Structure 1
């Protein structure tokens, strides 16, 4: 059964690069530990696009970011010194923990043009790991567990589900799947977790008897069986996990403590956080401090 359907809302990351924001939502802040869910594109970018479309250096605490592309490419740089091009079917898993900064630039699209389409999600860290040391992991497509069924190709991005376990290190029980489904293909959502959701990134599908269009997320009723059937060629994301408790959120900061958010704000305001290695000539100001018209990253 479906508890709630959430429609994506358009948000500008700054400079005119728009995304579809799904989580957080007023009536449902989190799905398991997933506290943020944005769809990038689909968007066609021509060669020579302006730098203002890039997501300039910005900070995070208390979470892991998960970047996953269906098409296009992004260039990641962070304060740990990692410089990584992410391509379709690969996973960038960045643990912010006590604090990290990074940038996401459209360098490939600027040089060659690109059809950009993907998802960025944030996973809140459990309280005992909120201040863990920051880390970065990149997994090539060949590293990810895949399976096939009639008209379906599935990939496990993170966590464990349906007798598969991903290699990405996580800090709490969760699952995150990418399904490519042909019309008529079916998939039964795992019931191993108390909180689960299904998102239609493209196409159209029937979920637990209800039709969902592209840009809609169905939050499933706990302990209820839910079947997905594609009604046309579709890209479906399935996610969920164990709750980690209430979280507070300001801009790119997530924490179980409001005081910790204030500290993070002051650290960024006073430029006490190291900028990405090789990308330290600019940054996104704290939203309350930025001049009118300057975009925030999230």
Structure 2
């Protein structure tokens, strides 16, 4: 059963690049350690598209960013010297820890055109890991465990779920699953974690009580309950959640259990004390003062 339903809202992350923001919401700040979820696209990027579509260098602290695409490609560069293009079904997992900067550019689409479609999530780090050394991990689609049932195919992006475990290194108990369901397929979600949610990327699912979740809606699952999802049409969704890590504060791209730490991060970025990505240090996103 569902505890509540939350609909995405529009937010612009670069000029002409709007996303659907699901977390955080005034109705739900976090789901387990997940503190942020953006639905990117579908966005058509034409050959020679404007550089304004790119997300220029910007900083993070206290979290891991998780990028997962259904179509298109993004070029990632960071202050560790990593350059990595992510393709559909792959995972870019960046641990910000004490501080990292990165950019996300549409270079693939600018060369040959594409439809960008995917999700980006932030996972808050437990207090004891908030200041770890930054790191970056990339996993090809064939490295991620998958499972299936009648009319359903799933890929475990991160964490542990239904006896499977992703190779992605995590810092607290969580799960993140991409699921494709054919019309009339059903799947029963067992309550393995304290907090769980389902987000409908496309299509529609119906619960046993008749409640329907449409594309762009997130359903928060009730604790300690079984939830059966029935696809009324071809549906793409993600299941995610985990164990809470405690209260977190957010300012812009910074996440921390300490407001004082957020102020330090703001000051560091304002005065450019954070190294910019290698090979991408000619421009950056300034600190929003509001």
Using structure 2 for the length normalisation, give the TM-score. 0.98
Residue in 1 that maps onto 2:115: 115
**What do the CA deviations read for 1:6-47 (whole angstroms, capped 9, x no partner)?**
100010112110000000000210000000000001122211
* Alpha-carbon distance, 1:106 to partner: 0.4
Which residue matches 2:172? 172
Q: How far is 1:155 from its partner?
A: 0.2
Q: Conserved in 1, the CA contact under 8 Å of 2:8 and 2:21?
A: yes
Q: Does 1:282 align with 2:283?
A: yes
Identify the residue that residue 229 of structure 2 maps to in structure 1.
Answer: 228
- 1:27 aligned to 2:27? yes
1:125 correspondence with 2:125: yes
**How far, CA to CA, are the matches of 1:178 and 1:149 in structure 2?**
14
Q: Supply the distance in 2 between the matched residues of 1:238 and 1:49 (Cα, whole angstroms).
A: 33
Contact 1:2–1:208 (CA<8 Å) still a contact in 2? no
Report the alpha carbon displacement of residue 208 of structure 1 after superposing the two structures with TM. Answer: 5.1
Distance 1:18 1:281 in 2: 24
Aligned residue number for residue 100 of structure 1: 100
- Matched-pair contact (CA < 8 Å) for 1:161–1:190: no
Partner in structure 2 of residue 9 of structure 1: 9
1:23-62 matched pairs, under 5 angstroms: 23-62=23-62
Secondary structure at the residue paired with 1:13? strand
- Aligned pairs for 1:68-217 (under 5 A) are 68-207=68-207, 209=209, 210-217=211-218
Q: Which runs of 5 or more residues in structure 2 are unaligned? A: none
Match of 1:248 in 2: 249
Aligned-pair distance for 1:61?
Answer: 0.1
Tell me if the contact between 2:191 and 2:226 (Cα under 8 Å) persists in the aligned partners: yes
Equivalent position SS for 1:271: coil
Other-structure match for 1:239? 240
SS of match in other structure, 1:119? strand
Check conservation: 2:190, 2:225, Cα contact below 8 A.
no
How far apart are residue 87 of structure 1 and its match?
0.3
The SS at the match of 2:14 is: coil
Where do 4+ consecutive residues of structure 1 move more than 4 Å?
Answer: none
**Equivalences, count:** 289
Normalising by structure 1, we get a TM-score of: 0.96
Q: Please say if residues 72 and 114 of structure 1, whose CA atoms lie closer than 8 Å, have aligned partners that are also in contact.
A: yes
Quote the Cα distance in structure 2 between the aligned partners of 1:132 and 1:263.
Answer: 16
1:273 is aligned to 2:274: yes
CA distance in 2, matches of 1:31, 1:129: 19
What does the per-residue CA deviation read over 1:211-234, in whole Å, with 9 as the maximum and x for residues that have no partner? Answer: 111000000111111111111111
